[in-house]
Amino acid sequence: MKNVNEILGLKNTNEVNEKLNELLASFQVYYQNLRGFHWNVKGKMFFTLHNKFEELYDDAAEKVDEVAERILTLGGTPLHTFEDYLKTSKIAVVKDENDGMKLVEATLENLSTLIKIERELLEVAEKADDEGTNALASDFISEQEKTVWMLNSLLG
């Protein structure tokens, strides 16, 4: 039986899977940050931000699943423990913050980090002739850049 990479006609995907796991771990911390933001936000923009953070964490949960499934598609094993996520994530945990505008700023910082990882992933996937991962990362980047623009506009 052929391995998945042979069937898909891909070159060595070890580096792709490493970068995908970095993205997965970072998305998991981003997701958990957003849950905390949703629960704890206070201020004049409470209703707007409470709903926006929920929208963003629902989207992040879907992306977590897509990334994990991409790793499996490429014959890898997705990280799946909080210990591994915290060790691998490029996003820092945000704790004990409830000011709405500071949470928006933290979300922008988190999104900036995710976009940086995804751009690095594009380069790694290109070397492996991995169009599926390229498409995934490109789609994520397009959506997140629009979210960055909108959140940045909210800050003025």
Q: Please give the Cα distance from 22 to 76 (Å, whole number).
A: 13
pLDDT at 16 over 70: yes
Q: Closest Cα partner for 63 from 146, 121, 144?
A: 144
Determine if the pTM surpasses 0.75.
Answer: yes
pLDDT tens profile 37-85 = 999 999 999 999 999 999 999 999 999 999 999 999 999 999 999 999 9
pLDDT of residue 12: 77
Q: Which CATH number fits domain 11-155: 1.20.1260.10, 1.10.10.60, 1.10.10.10, 3.30.2290.10?
A: 1.20.1260.10
Q: What is the pLDDT of residues 106-147, one digit of tens each?
A: 999 999 999 999 999 999 999 999 999 999 999 999 999 999
Asked whether the predicted pLDDT for residue 10 surpasses 70, the reply is: yes
Assigned token pair, 130: 């991995």
Instruction: Report the C-alpha gap between 90 and 121 in whole angstroms.
Output: 14
Q: What is the DSSP track for 66-88?
A: HHHHHHHHTT-----SHHHHHHH
Token pair, residue 17, equals 């899977």
Q: Is residue 154's pLDDT more than 80? A: yes
